[in-house]
A and B are shown apart, each in its own frame.
Chain A
Amino acid sequence: MTKTLFDKVWDKHVVRKIEGGPDVLFIDRHLIHEVTSPVAFLGLKSRGIKVLYPERTFATADHNTPTINQHLPVADPLSANQLKALESNSNEYGISHWGLGHQKNGIVHVVGPEHGITQPGATIVCGDSHTSTHGAFGAIAFGIGTSEVEMVLASQCIMQPKPKKMRINVTGKLSKGVTPKDVALYIISQLTTSGATGYFVEYAGEVFEKMSMEGRMTVCNLSIEMGARGGMIAPDETTFNYVKGREFSPKGEAWDKAMEYYKTLKSDADAVFDKELTFDGSAIEPMITYGTNPGMGIGISHEIPNAEEVEGGVATYNKSLGYMGFHEGESMLGKKIDYVFVGSCTNGRIEDFRAFASIVKGKKKADHVTAWLVPGSHIVEAQIKEEGLLDIFTEAGFTLRQPGCSACLAMNDDKIPAGKYSVSTSNRNFEGRQGPGSRTLLASPLVAAAAAVTGVVTDPRELIEDEGILSSVINKVKDLF
């Protein structure tokens, strides 16, 4: 029988099938953080169970951590308590712990791949929906709840029914100024925020084949935003080159053996998907969201659709636009913004900061914009410095913060104030996601950079193609305020 990439990895990990129920699925690698793990450890304790394979679980602190002055004690006692719980639980059960200040610390979905914990053909879970990121390596990776975190700690297994399979092909070439983030936001805008619910997605086609690992991670990361359990891309030379030589990657003979397995990781030519969609990559333009879920996105030159043009109820749509302070038929271009947030497990990797730098280089941050640049990990932070990007940022009036999830979910002090607009490279524009009352416009690092220097929503292609237009945009903005 022919198999998809997903089938191959899933079937290899099924310990037992339950009649009329879920599969018992073995988990190779388990990532934990401070927010969704404490209650799982409490459960283990109350049952008197040990962690079955502590060497398969890795802990990092990220959701709650401050992004300035990380050398000081964490001020918020509740956050400090969660961080302490992660550390003491990890120590008690013999789990690697990369806490605040540790050189390997960073956002869980950034550090996993950086250290080779993420490998092709593996099953990877974490109590975080953006675990889908790791699918970029041809792994089956998805977010789980705390009850399941406890299951994995206790048994290295979870119990889930096998999802349906969808393949999304994006053909052709991307235009200038169009990034992996735009590809993902475009797909989500076409499918809606629930269009892939019940499915596991495989991304295929020329656009993904040419994408870097960082770009693939951005795309797979956002799979959950259209409801998919996860998304994955067949591993290729780009993948193998990235994985090889990292700390937890197989070495020597083990690498050769692993490669034999990795090379089988692709969908058979005649494999059958429950659903298959194809999009033309050349038709995608830089994207931006205007509403309160990631499916409410448009090409940056387009206008906000009318309620009857979108799927779903009019009342829900109007509630969303009302929250954002936007109206049907308006253009997003030229809208004044207050904050720019670059970071998160979606766009907090080195390529994202390179992209941001490519636009802000030689320009100045708009005076009224507050910008938070938050690297995904200490490794990314170090790279930003080594490559001279920090100098570009400093020159342009930006400062760099320390790694963490930060304003993506605003659990720490990095909160966008009520009513303010933020162009954010993160993954969710839900009501209050970046702080109570905050209004989020999701976009790529290029769009974020263009907004940061002009102070309004700006098409980054104008800044890439013609310096003259930039000064005219800036002058126009100065006239406005």
Chain B
Amino acid sequence: MAYDKFTILRSTAVPLPIENVDTDQIIPARFLKATERVGFGDNLFRDWRYNPDNTPKADFVLNNPVYSGKILVGGKNFGSGSSREHAAWAIYDYGFRCVVSSFFADIFKNNCLNIGVLPVQVSPEFADKIFTAIHSDPKAELEINLPEQTITLLPTGEQEKFDISSYKKENMMNGFDDIDYLQNIKGEIEEFASELPF
């Protein structure tokens, strides 16, 4: 599915300094029943965000009007558990384009890259600096520069480089996905398949 190109993103950020945020929290299983990719943002962090009677939980960060922005900053091991791509969809549909963490779970990270959410892995020290900066000033902005592969804490100018494969980087910058690539090498795949034992 096509997504918006990603180059440079400058935004405030929403802090979620909890470790091991699993994809069941990002979107609980009972909200995976759609057959189309619509409306997942409404149920992002459903059970942390809403009481059983659907009233918002005042102490959850997404319900705190002080915090907003296109960047979500999570604790270590963000996105563990289920492979549900719905978790990445919910994050995108809610309005985030980038998730920052000191450590990502594998499948979640892949899913993000495939749908246009940029996962930015920073050092634990830099993650702490971001959390501190946002807590002292929720209007503190971050700049994510994909071409340069840098993340900058704008109030202080502190910066870190982040990793992304050159292939995925080009995809994100152009809004391409892997199917486009695979369709172009179909002949090569068919030839390969004909020689396999299975």
Contacts and interface: CB of A to CB of B under 8 A. Distances in A.
Given A52-B186, A430-B81, A436-B47, A22 B165 contact: yes
Contacts of B190: 52
A47 interface: yes
A79 B30 CA distance: 10
Contacts of A411: 29-30, 32-33
Contacts of B188: 15-16
Interface string A9-36: 0000101101111101010110000011
A432 B48 CA distance: 10
Interface residues of A, number: 79
Interface string B150-170: 000000000000000111100
A394 interface: no
A26 B192 contact: yes
A462 to B, nearest CB: 33
Nearest to A291: B20
A319 interface: yes
Nearest to A85: B35
B80 A160 contact: no
Interface string B101-130: 001111100110011000000000000000
- Provide the main secondary structure of the chain A interface: loop
A215 interface: no
A38 B36 CA distance: 7
Interface string B19-31: 1101011001110
B189 interface: yes
Nearest to A199: B106
A63 to B, nearest CB: 8
A194 B165 contact: no
A352 interface: no
Interface range for B: 35 or more
Contacts of B35: 38-39, 42, 81-82, 85
Contacts of B1: 39, 43, 147
A151 B176 CA distance: 13
A52 B84 CA distance: 24
Interface in A410-442: 410-411, 418, 428, 430-433, 436-437
Interface string A150-177: 1100111111110100000000000000
Interface string B175-198: 001110111011011101100111
A430 B24 contact: yes
A129 interface: yes
A33 to B, nearest CB: 11
B85 interface: yes
Interface string A53-69: 10000000001100000
Nearest to A431: B25
B76 interface: yes
A316 interface: yes
Contacts of A122: 198
Contacts of B107: 129, 143-145, 224, 229
Given A39-B35, A316-B20, A147 B193 contact: no
Interface string B78-92: 001111111010000
A73 interface: no
A263 interface: no
A350 B75 CA distance: 40
Given A155-B179, A156-B189, A197 B105 contact: yes
B73 to A, nearest CB: 15
A119 interface: yes
Contact of B76 (A15, A127, A194): A194
Contacts of B18: 315-316, 319
B82 A129 contact: yes
8 contacts: A36-B84, A42-B37, A129-B81, A147-B114, A194-B76, A227-B80, A430-B81, A432-B24
Interface of A: 13, 15-16, 18-22, 24, 26, 28-29, 35-36, 38-39, 42-43, 47, 49, 52-53, 63-64, 76, 78-79, 81-82, 85, 119, 122, 127-129, 143-148, 150-151, 154-161, 163, 193-194, 197-198, 224, 227, 229, 257-258, 261, 293, 312-313, 315-316, 319, 409-411, 418, 428, 430-433, 436-437
